[in-house]
Amino acid sequence: MERIYFDNAATTSLDPVVLDAMLPYMTEKFGNPSSIYSYGRETRLGIENARKSVAKILNAHPGEIFFTSGGTESSNTAINAAINDLGCKHVISSPIEHHATLHTVEYLHHHRGIGLSFVKILPSGHIDMDHLRELLQNAGGKCLVTLMHANNEIGNLLDLNAVGTLCKEFDAIFHSDTVQTVGHYPFDLRNTPVHFITAAGHKFHGPKGVGILYINENVKITPYIQGGSQERNMRAGTENLYGIIGFAKALELATEHHAEHSAYINDLRQYMAAELEKNIPGVTFNGDLKGRSLYTVLNVSFPKSEKSEMILFNLDINGICASGGSACTSGANAGSHVIRAINSNPNQIAVRFSFSKNNTRTEVDKVIAKLKELI
């Protein structure tokens, strides 16, 4: 059966060019980067060249880039450091964050007594900036603001500069989960008022199990993982050598082809939205589809019926991969906390379709035809 993959916000396929860059570090260049002899020196050089490449693309200093196992570890490190090392007594987040953030701040609130507030979400899915200002004014202590750059389920984009400037005004620490946007948008971290950002290689055709944490050079924190002196004493454990090489190569490719790929993918997304409206009665969209929105994500609400309640299962058995909300919780029946926060209509079923450079209009047409049959 032909398979159609429309769940690229969950993970993307590994680019063959990235695999080619990784392979030498899986075979002949296998040394431990902490070793002092030639095998170690050549792998250490590979890691440091990868760090320089990532830093240059993000317009950061190489000393601000730390390689991790992915977005979850990076966000946990940043949030815990803000509490443990930077004096934050109160956290301001939103009810539509990824669980890597939500579960961390809730744990700190319940087990460490850290204050926790959630900023209001507007009907469009964007955060209420006036309410954020109000929360910062009334916090009564140093705050950590942790808000994601692009929501992984509905695609809404945060204005990093506006939030960062507001945080600066109140001397708050600002962490942003940028897992859905690094590799998809240009970054200029030297000129963005943010203390921490995170990324994961598998969101832009790199390998799984590798990510970065950007720590602004003016911020000093202690390690989250204790052990050896890797990552300049910041992240213990032998480095994921070939993952790091792959992360840097994937980011280079994504940056090089950004204009071409982003326009192509956004056209595909808008084409699918128009075809859904034309062919499926009662369909609506979650998030700010026509405004500030991630060009890879289309979140669709279908009218609830006996047929649509089984839609993900029926798509799957027809070889079509999509998700109901976030793939990180797709095995649970609880539904999406993001959709609940912006669309409480019990008579709708939400499905996320997310696209990459590898998808085509022909695939969209086939999915639309199948949806007409299924609903």
pLDDT at 309 (0 to 100): 83
Q: Do 250 and 368 fall within a single domain?
A: no
Alpha helices in the chain (DSSP H): 16-22, 38-58, 71-84, 99-112, 129-138, 160-169, 230-233, 241-256, 258-279, 311-317, 337-342, 361-374
| pLDDT per position as a tens digit, 158-213 | 999 999 999 999 999 999 999 999 999 999 999 999 999 999 999 999 999 999 99
Query: Residue 122: which domain range?
Result: 16-256
Same domain, 346 and 319: yes
Is the domain of 48 the same as that of 182? yes
Q: Are residues 22 and 8 in the same domain?
A: no
Cα–Cα distance measured from residue 123 to residue 288, given in angstroms and rounded to the nearest whole number: 9
Report the chain's mean pLDDT, rounded to a whole number: 95
- Does one domain contain both 202 and 311? no
Give me the active site residues, please.
Answer: 328
SS3 288: coil
CATH number at residue 315: 3.90.1150.10
Quick: pLDDT tens for 117-129.
999 999 999 999 9
Q: What is the pLDDT of residue 331?
A: 47
Give buried/exposed letters for 331-340 (b at 16+ CB in 10 A, else e).
Answer: eeeeebbbbe
Residue 268, beta-bridge partner list: none
153 contacts 159 by C-beta, under 8 angstroms: no
212-232 in b/e form (b: 16+ CB < 10 A) is: bbbbbeebebebbbeeeebbe
Final residue belonging to a domain, choices 219, 237, 256: 256
**Range from 257-261, 334-338, 365-369 carrying the lowest mean pLDDT:** 334-338
CATH number for the domain spanning 157: value is 3.40.640.10
Averaged pLDDT for residues 219-242? 94
SS3 assignment, position 76: helix
Write down the pLDDT at residue 1. 80
* Measured CA distances, 216 to 159, 193, 264, 358 (Å): 19, 9, 33, 34
Q: How many structural domains does the chain have? A: 2
**What average pLDDT does the segment 298-309 reach?**
89
What percent of the chain is predicted at pLDDT more than 90? 90
Q: Which of 227, 256, 285 is the last residue of a domain?
A: 256
Shared domain check, 181 and 316: no
Question: Taking 80 as the threshold, does the pLDDT of residue 357 lie above it?
Answer: yes
Kindly state whether residues 146 and 162 are assigned to the same domain: yes
Listed residues 256, 278, 296: the one ending a domain: 256
- The mean pLDDT value for 97-104 works out to 97
Clarify whether residues 115 and 180 are in a common domain. Answer: yes
pLDDT for 325 equals 58
pLDDT of residue 365: 98
Q: What percent helix, strand, coil does the chain show, rounded to 5?
A: 45, 15, 40
Give the pTM.
Answer: 0.95
Is the model's pLDDT at 317 over the cut of 80?
yes
Confidence check: pLDDT of 335 > 80:
no
What average pLDDT does this structure show over 332-360?
Answer: 87
